[in-house]
């Protein structure tokens, strides 16, 4: 009963709208197709009522489906947990170590980040996953990781059923001649149980489901190992990126600092227990976290503040020289730009000739930045004037001296 309650526990019914998104629609379609075809094929190949092995095979197949859907919906509807609106640390002097979110009108708790899609500050945010149309964070990290583990295992079982079904069905329909091999898909099975027609359409459905199962096994399996790697280090994907930027900042300025990631407790088992517990409820309240010796609660947030200041110093101003409509994969901006579009749900921004952009990061053919407003300011998080744009649409602003650009950044 407790598991059922946690499954149907929504903040309110409007959470059901998360299903109306291309990510859940595709994910649930793949799960449905593989499960239904595997159940039907298991009847062809290993009739469950004839032997104990057939019964175990059928029960395991149903069990995979139930467990996959249970963890999938838990990850989607329970959600990552959000920093309370208006939150601030108990000690006022600690506010100087934290970033302030103007959207949520609250301080960002350690390990939390603002998600533009959810429009909230997410506790221990790992990433926003389009397949569950929600963030992966503190409360649903366990369910999300279990889903990534169970989905490939279930697909491996289903793929084995597809292969054995097609093999056994074709075996009874192949006839060898002197010069050719013929397959007659109209012939009925020679054995008497079960008597269910297996024609060309059933063979095509099994082959299609096999391709989906193998593709899911590879893709989701890789995501599972990535998640397991960060869990054993007690990191999130965002924190791994912050750590890399810390090393880059220290090397760039030659400060002689040594950044130690504060949440790695020094033991893989202890790190594992931060996410996976016997009760299924992650440890902690999502606002305060245990740290290793030599670090304080705000070691990571202080590094984030340093990187934010460094980002303002090292960002580069560009001028738009070619209009861009904000398309995800623009056809008119070159083949390389089309095929190297960032694999992210982060927005694209429209550009008009003459506008100024403050670029903060970039790829070979794409850049990410903020539009500079007429008053000299840049856009805030959550607006549509921050995002990706093709590199070929802009050119770097050239100054005779550093005065204008320096004053512009101070104004921002």
Active-site positions read: 129
Among the listed residues 116, 143, 112, the one whose alpha carbon sits nearest the alpha carbon of residue 126: 112
Query: Residue 249 has which token pair?
Result: 């900042």
The values of phi and psi at residue 99, to 5°, are -85, 150
Number of Cβ within a 10 Å radius of residue 138? 29
What torsion, rounded to 10 degrees, do the Cα atoms 8, 14, 16, 19 define?
-150
121 class by beta-carbon count within 10 Å (0-12 exposed, 13-18 middle, 19+ buried): buried
Residues 6 or more apart in contact with residue 266 via CB below 8 angstroms: 292
Query: Residue 393 has which token pair?
Result: 């649409």
- For residues 213 and 159, the answer to whether their CB atoms sit within 8 Å is yes
The Cα 113–Cα 370 span in angstroms is 19
Which DSSP symbol is given to 343?
S
Give, in order, the Cα–Cα distances in Å from 201 to each of 36, 37, 298.
15, 12, 61
Residue that has been written with the tokens 């059928």 in this structure: 58
Which DSSP symbol is given to 6?
H
């Amino acid at each position: 009963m407790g598991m059922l309650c946690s499954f149907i526990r929504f903040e309110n019914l409007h959470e059901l709208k998360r299903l109306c998104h291309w990510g859940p629609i595709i994910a649930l379609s793949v799960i449905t197709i593989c499960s239904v075809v595997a159940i039907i094929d298991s009847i062809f190949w290993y009739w469950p009522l004839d032997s104990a092995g057939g019964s175990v095979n059928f029960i395991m197949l149903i069990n995979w489906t139930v467990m996959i859907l249970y963890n999938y919906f838990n990850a989607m509807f329970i959600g990552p947990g959000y920093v309370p609106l208006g939150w601030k640390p108990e000690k006022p002097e600690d506010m100087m170590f934290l970033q302030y979110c103007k959207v949520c009108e609250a301080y960002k708790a350690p390990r939390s980040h603002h998600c533009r899609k959810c429009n909230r500050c997410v506790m221990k945010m790992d990433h926003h996953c389009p397949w569950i149309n929600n963030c992966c964070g503190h409360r649903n990290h366990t369910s999300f990781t279990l889903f990534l583990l169970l989905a490939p295992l279930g697909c491996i079982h289903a793929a084995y059923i597809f292969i054995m079904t097609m093999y056994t069905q074709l075996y009874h329909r192949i006839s060898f001649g002197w010069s050719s091999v013929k397959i007659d898909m109209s012939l009925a099975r020679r054995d008497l149980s079960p008597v269910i027609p297996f024609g060309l359409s059933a063979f095509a459905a099994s082959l299609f489901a096999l391709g989906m199962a193998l593709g899911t096994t590879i893709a989701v399996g890789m995501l599972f190992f990535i998640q397991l790697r960060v869990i054993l280090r007690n990191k999130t994907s965002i924190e791994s990126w912050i750590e890399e930027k810390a090393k880059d900042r220290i090397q760039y300025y030659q400060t002689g600092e040594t950044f130690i990631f504060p949440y790695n407790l020094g033991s893989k088992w202890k790190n594992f227990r931060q996410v996976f517990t016997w009760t299924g409820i992650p440890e902690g309240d999502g606002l305060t976290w245990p740290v290793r010796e030599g670090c304080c609660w705000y070691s990571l947030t202080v590094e984030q503040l340093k990187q934010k200041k460094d980002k303002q110093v090292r960002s580069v101003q560009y001028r738009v020289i070619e209009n861009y409509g904000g398309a995800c994969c623009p056809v008119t901006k070159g083949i390389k730009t089309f095929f190297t579009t960032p694999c992210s749900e982060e927005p694209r921004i429209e550009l008009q000739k003459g506008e100024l952009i403050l670029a903060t990061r970039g790829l070979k053919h794409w850049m990410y930045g903020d539009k500079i407003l007429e008053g000299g300011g840049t856009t805030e998080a959550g607006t549509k004037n921050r995002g990706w744009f093709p590199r070929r649409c802009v050119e770097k602003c050239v100054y005779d001296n550093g005065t204008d650009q320096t004053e512009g950044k101070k104004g921002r």
